[in-house]
Amino acid sequence: MEKKMIISGKIEETRNQIKEWKRQGLSVGLVPTMGYLHEGHRSLMEAARRENDKVAVSIFVNPIQFGPGEDFASYPRDLDKDAALCESIGVDLVFHPEASEMYDEGFCTYVDMDGLTKELCGRSRPTHFRGVQTVVSKLFHIIPADRAYFGQKDAQQLAVVRRMVRDMSMDIEIVGCPIIREQDGLAKSSRNTYLNDEERQAALVLSRSLAEGRKLVEAGERDTAAIKKCIAEVIGQEKLARIDYVEIVDFSDITPIDSLQDAKEGEALCAIAVYIGKTRLIDNFIFHVS
C-alpha cells in the first residue's frame, strides 16, 4: 500500500522522520516555502522529486522576515490546497509549524551577514534577510537535507543562502531553479493575488522592461547605467508603477557594477522591484558574461 504523505507541525517529529530516512541511506531534498503554492513552487518540488529519494516541503509564513507595516497578517494562506499539490507531486513530508514552535518565548538568536544583504531588497527591507537566514538555518537543522531548492525569482535570497551555507560550512547543496512565468510573462508570485484586474495588466511592465534591457545586453551593451536607464524608462511609461529599485550587481556578492564585464565570477544580476499600486513585485534576469 502506498504510504500517505506526512504533515507535521512539530520539530521533534519531523527531525526523527528525517533521521530515519537518513538511517536507511536515503537522500532528502528540501523545498522551503511560505505556502500558497503556485507553479513556481511546483517546479522546485518536481526538481527535488527527480533528484532525491525523499522530498520535504516546509510551509511557514515566517514572521521575523516581515518588517513593520508589511503584509505578514494578510499574506495568503491555504494549507489544504498546498497539501493537495504537494501530495500530487509525490512529496513525502510537509513541515507546517506554528510560529511558537519555531520561536520559543524569549527567542533572541539570529543569523545575519554583511555585504550581500545591504543592496537591492535590503535597502527598503533592512531586517528582511536576517529573518530569512535565521529561518533557513533553523530549517536546515530541523531537516538536514542533501539538497535545498530555491527559485531564481528571489535571486538575492538565493545568493544570500548560498553565501551563508559556504561561510558557515553547512553540509547541503543549494540548487537554484529558473523563474516560472505566466503565459503573458508575469513572474509567478503568491503576492500576485493582491492585484486587481487593472493592476494585473500593469504588472506586465516588469517583464516587459527586463526584456528590453536584455535586448540591449544581447546587442552588445555592457554599460550598466545605460541598461538601467532603458529599463527605468519602460517602467516609467506605466502610470500604476512606482520604482523601488532598478539595479545591476555582481551576482556572486550583490555589489553594484559599472560594466557587465566587472562581474567577478561571470554572472551579472539585473534586478528590479516595482510597486504596482500597493503591491511590491520583484523580477530579474541573470546575464552570463563571456
Catalytically active residues, by annotation: 41
> How does strand 28-33 pair with strand 54-59?
parallel
Q: What is the DSSP string of 96-123?
A: ---HHHHS-TT-------SSTTTSTHHH
Paired with 246 in beta bridges are: 272
**Closest residue by Cα to residue 238 from 190, 212, 199:** 199
123 with 246: CB under 8 angstroms? no
Interhelix angle 11-23/128-142, nearest 10 degrees:
50
Q: What angle do CA 152, 42, 175 make, to 5 degrees?
A: 40
Q: Cα angle at 133 between 130 and 135, to 5 degrees?
A: 105
Return d(Cα 33, Cα 55) in angstroms, integer.
13
Report the alpha-carbon angle 210-259-216, nearest 5.
35
Cβ–Cβ < 8 Å for 39, 78 = no
Cα–Cα nearest to 36, from 76, 63, 66: 76
Helices (H), the chain: 11-23, 39-51, 79-89, 99-102, 121-124, 128-142, 155-167, 197-202, 204-218, 224-236
